[in-house]
Chain A
Amino acid sequence: MRILIKGGRIIDPVENKDKTLDVLIENGKISALEKKLAADGAVTVDASGLLVAPGLIDMHVHLREPGYEAKETIETGLKAAVRGGFTGVACMPNTNPVADNQTVIKYIIDRASALGLARVWPIGALTRGSRGEQLTEMADLKNAGAAALSDDGRPVAGSGIMRRAMQYARMVGLTVISHCEDPELAAGGSMNEGFISTRLGLKGIPGAAEEVMVARDIILSELTGCPLHIAHVSTRGSVRLVREAKARGLKVTAEATPHHFTLTDAAVEGYNTSTKVNPPLRGEADVAAIKEGLADGTIDVIATDHAPHTMEEKDVEYDSAPFGLVGLETAVGLVWRELVRPGILTPAEAVAKMTVNPARLLGIEKDTLRPGAVADITIIDPSLEETVDPLSFASKGRNTPFAGWKLKGLPVLTMVGGKIVYSHAGIKIL
């Protein structure tokens, strides 16, 4: 099958391209990238006025399967991914059983490849059962296909075991992704600690709960030489710590989520449990610092921390609700709204943080539109505007704080390995 994407603006951060070209896809690969290509009999996608980017990667999602299929399955999660413009996701190991062994890793990979939607790179657990006590069989996990290691959601409290885990991960050649949260400082909290938590009477989680562990893990990365990726940076202090670490030449990278650069803790007003997320939504100065960190390259990656929950789990008192919100299907719109249109990032810079940067971290070879490359492609319509309707999500999760928001700049076509896995009703395919 041949597909011709005509007249699109090519955004390729790897090739440093930003111009209007046609793309021809044959046998799952990009075969030509030129002006005014003609291809008889090819399926033609009219991309005039649209951005054609390498396939977006979300390196932080929770697919929930195995174990929590009421929240999400690999299938619904990947349908949400492709609807959100993502051709690949890395999924966190806090399933049940935990992805701390090769069997679970292989199960996820097999399920995902049978579906033929987005690609999946499972992240293996850092410690057994993510209990922070014993190391996982990291070499085995890597052989089975784990792309990185993390105890996301259950931060490793002990500095000793974290040191050993990082030493071992370095030997194996996997990046450690750290969800930084000091459990004692965060204990019992539901939202950011500040004036709003005081007013609402909710227990606060201070920014220091995150920063203490960001600092510790940077120090341990320096000690062990293990590449460290800080997940979902939420505070000004964390941005500063990462910036300093990078300036000293350490192998430290960081990600930010759309909700952390879009919302503040003011969104918690009214006790909407879809605003309950960990780390919590922070203050204005933190949001500004994250945007600054994205602009100056301190923050390498935009990832969603897509965390679906069921309606009944979230339809409770704020304190009783689980942490997490869904992000796959609103990410691109929020990136355009908060970062691209205000000029904080160019389209190419934004795309880099959702393609080549996470790909490098995960050790994935791809994410370019060069001829010969695998045809994972995302087409974005920068002028398409739609209202966020959770009921239209492909994800089982409806827990979004952005319901009713008008987002402009949306994915309209997602192609994985030369196959169109999602297309918006408005795009012209002949």
Chain B
Amino acid sequence: MGLKNKDLLGIEHFSPEEILLVLDTAASMKEIIGRQIKKVPTLRGKTVVNVFYEPSTRTRTSFELAAKYLSADSINISASGSSVVKGESLRDTSATIAALGADVVVLRHPMAGAPVLVAGQVKAAVINAGDGAHEHPTQALLDMYTVRDKKGALEGLKIAIVGDILHSRVARSDIWGFTRMGARVRVCGPSTMLPPGLENMGVEVFHRMEEALSGADVIIMLRIQLERQQQGLFPSVREYARLFGLNSEKLALAKPGALVMHPGPINRGVEIATEVAYGVQAVINEQVTNGLAVRMALLYLLAGGVAQ
């Protein structure tokens, strides 16, 4: 079997079978990353266009490397260096990219739903690399990959997601993904940063980190954007760190050996203490490596590559 749709726009409409397919494919891709010569001809002759309307280090580099390891041609377009600064609309930019013959368009955009607009416009497969506060499906897939890799399975695990859920596309994609795979998801954050209706996504909502972490198998810490303080969403970094930062004391409330994850980039000393970020339970760098494998898997599955 393959993926049902030509695009990956979000995890919300992804089935458990599709998630498993991506994770299993990623496992074989990870083997390639471990080789001396990290290159296979699978996507030779295919073109991957990374369109980034927002700054990004790991996601963009990860997609670019993933394409290169699979021998696809990849190019990067960033909003600042393109016709976007001349006022070109997203629809017209995507029409141009389609006309240039892209097979896969990877899109990062600050506005929710932008990949839906592009997907309806181009024949190429569109991969959502993060759209506003909507979804970041490849992050959720690499998170699930990492957890499955470490814990063996996803079903029945207690996953705690802590931080600014309101603005987090990672949280939304993780919630859809982990709940769909049978994990039990708890979210925790200040009342000003929890969007309405979260319970309808099948999660438990907490304001006290101690309760949310109790017995957790996995802790996913979210980045807090410091400008949210000016927007009146939290009173001070000091209080945020005290209530919602992960230190070794709070970590001790989770299950022994609980995984500490973070999509990055991290604010050390704010949402995560240095000793935890660099501690033995943290798998933050493995998430990055697994992200590469997951993105190779997706490019392979969506670009219709030929198996070796």
Contact = CB atoms under 8 A, between A and B. Distances in A.
**Do A and B interact?**
yes
B306 to A, nearest CB: 34
Interface of B is mostly: mixed
Interface string B62-97: 000000000000000000000000000111000000
Interface string B184-204: 000000000001111011000
Interface stretch (A166-174, A252-260, A311-319, A359-367): A311-319
Contacts of A199: 12, 172, 197, 201
B113 A202 contact: yes
Nearest to A184: B232
B175 to A, nearest CB: 10
Contacts, number: 64
B273 interface: no
Nearest to B195: A198
A320 interface: yes
Interface string A316-355: 1111100000000000000000000000000000000000
Contacts of B12: 199
Interface in A163-201: 193-201
B89 A316 contact: yes
B89 A271 contact: no
A270 interface: yes
Given A193-B196, A198-B196, A320-B111, A271 B116 contact: yes
Contacts of B116: 270-271
Contacts of B219: none
A317 B132 CA distance: 11
Contacts of B132: 201-202, 319
A88 interface: no
A397 interface: no
A204 interface: yes
Nearest to B12: A199
A319 B112 contact: yes
Nearest to B91: A315
B117 interface: yes
B91 A316 contact: yes
Contacts of A193: 196
A317 B200 contact: no
A319 B111 contact: yes
A204 B112 CA distance: 12
A194 B112 contact: no
Contact of B196 (A195, A202, A318, A320): A195
A208 to B, nearest CB: 12
A312 B134 contact: no
Given A316-B91, A319-B132, A271 B113 contact: yes
Nearest to B131: A201
B117 A271 contact: yes
A372 B254 CA distance: 84
B46 interface: no
Contacts of A271: 112-113, 116-117
Interface in B101-153: 109, 111-114, 116-117, 131-135
Contact of B134 (A201, A315, A316): A201
Interface in B212-248: none
A323 to B, nearest CB: 15
Q: Which of B112, B169, B195, B200 has the most CB of A within 10 A?
A: B112
B112 A318 contact: yes
Contacts of B172: 198-199, 201
B114 A201 contact: no
Nearest to A190: B112
Contacts of A203: 133
Interface string A203-221: 1100000000000000000
B11 to A, nearest CB: 12
Given A200-B134, A201-B135, A312-B89, A317 B198 contact: no
Contacts of B111: 317-320
A198 B117 contact: no
Interface in A257-273: 270-271
Contacts of B113: 200-202, 271, 317-318
A404 to B, nearest CB: 16
A198 B89 contact: no
A193 B133 CA distance: 14
Contacts of B114: 317
B112 A198 contact: no
B243 to A, nearest CB: 22
B90 A202 contact: no
A320 B172 CA distance: 22
Interface string A27-60: 0000000000000000000000000000000000
Contacts of B90: 316-317
B130 to A, nearest CB: 10
Contacts of A320: 111
B169 A204 contact: no
Contacts of B135: 201
Contacts of A202: 112-113, 132-134
Contact of B198 (A196, A198, A201, A318): A198
A203 B132 CA distance: 10
B190 to A, nearest CB: 16
A320 B113 CA distance: 11
A318 B133 CA distance: 13
Contacts of B131: 201
A204 B132 CA distance: 13
A196 B113 CA distance: 13
A211 B90 CA distance: 35
Interface string A386-408: 00000000000000000000000
Given A200-B134, A201-B134, A312-B89, A195 B197 contact: yes
Interface of B: 12, 89-91, 109, 111-114, 116-117, 131-135, 169, 172, 195-198, 200-201
8 contacts: A195-B197, A201-B132, A204-B195, A271-B112, A271-B116, A316-B91, A317-B90, A317-B113
Interface of A: 193-204, 270-271, 312, 315-320
7 closest residue pairs by CB, A with B: A195-B197, A201-B134, A271-B113, A201-B112, A201-B133, A198-B195, A317-B111
Given A198-B196, A201-B133, A318-B113, 8 more contacts: A198-B198, A199-B172, A201-B132, A202-B112, A202-B134, A270-B116, A271-B113, A319-B111
